[in-house]
Amino acid sequence: MVSCSWWSTVERTQAEMKSSVKQRDFYGYVDLTDDGRPFYVGIGNQLRFQKKARNSKHTYVRNHYGFHRELWLQSSDWTVMLRWEVDTIAELKTFHDENELGCNFTRGGDGSLGWKPSAATRAKWSEQRRGNTNSRGPRPNTRGRKQPWVTAALKGRKRPDLAAIALGKNAGPTKSEQSYERDQKIPKNATCSWFTIATW
């Protein structure tokens, strides 16, 4: 069992760990509070072991009760890691229904090594990207279709000259000019209803 009060107190550096461990080795670890109460059991690769954040409850417990991580198992056999996770969660009672501090929301054994797309999926992606000079390519849902944001209302309209507007050219009427134009449209003999009532 290797105890580490987070990475500031790990005796071996990351470089030493990488050189002493195979690339495909997996880690089984337990997170404990400052007073030694286990609240999370996990498995994963080296990056997963080094990453501190898990779920929102884990963050709460970590911030309020302290945190340090202990390495309990190291193996290159993923099946062994899955069995160890199930047994350790049951032994330490870190499942959230069995422990007020428990941060495991599953019984363990359901982890995966990563998703690999099938041959059919990869062939579909290849077909979608074929002929695209853009590294990312067009969005699949707009391929060969009319662009949804180019509507009939926008066709034929000239784009505003933003540079000219920024320089004060063709900026349109000012507020005072707009007010003057509005006032010119009001009939001269028009009166407000409240003024008419007040003068009776």
Whole-angstrom CA distances from 14 to 11, 19, 20 are 10, 9, 10
- Per-residue confidence band for 145, with pLDDT thresholds at 50, 70 and 90: low
The pLDDT score that the predictor gives to residue 197 is 45
Would strands 26-32 and 68-75 be described as parallel, antiparallel, or unpaired? antiparallel
Q: What percent of the chain has pLDDT over 90?
A: 38
The pLDDT score that the predictor gives to residue 182 is 66
The pLDDT score that the predictor gives to residue 37 is 96
Return all residues near 101 (Cβ < 8 A) that are at least 6 apart: 33, 37, 39, 61, 65, 94
- Asked if the model's pLDDT at residue 2 lies above 80, the reply is no
- Asked if the model's pLDDT at residue 7 lies above 60, the reply is no
Alpha-carbon dihedral sign for residues 54, 60, 62, 63: positive
Identity of the highest mean pLDDT range in 54-58, 116-120, 137-141: 54-58
The pLDDT score that the predictor gives to residue 186 is 64
H/E element holding 2?
Answer: strand 2-4
pLDDT digit string (tens) for 75-129?
999 999 999 999 999 999 999 999 999 999 999 998 777 677 888 998 888 887 7
pLDDT digit string (tens) for 153-169?
666 667 766 766 666 66
Identity of the highest mean pLDDT range in 3-12, 124-133, 155-164, 183-192: 124-133
- The order of strands in the sheet holding 38-44 is 2-4, 68-75, 26-32, 38-44
Beta strands in 11-168 (DSSP E): 26-32, 38-44, 68-75
The pLDDT score that the predictor gives to residue 163 is 67
The pLDDT score that the predictor gives to residue 117 is 81
Give the pLDDT mean for 142-160: 62
Return all residues near 117 (Cβ < 8 A) that are at least 6 apart: 125
CB atoms within 10 A of CB 12: 13
- Asked if the model's pLDDT at residue 16 lies above 60, the reply is no
- Per-residue confidence band for 151, with pLDDT thresholds at 50, 70 and 90: low
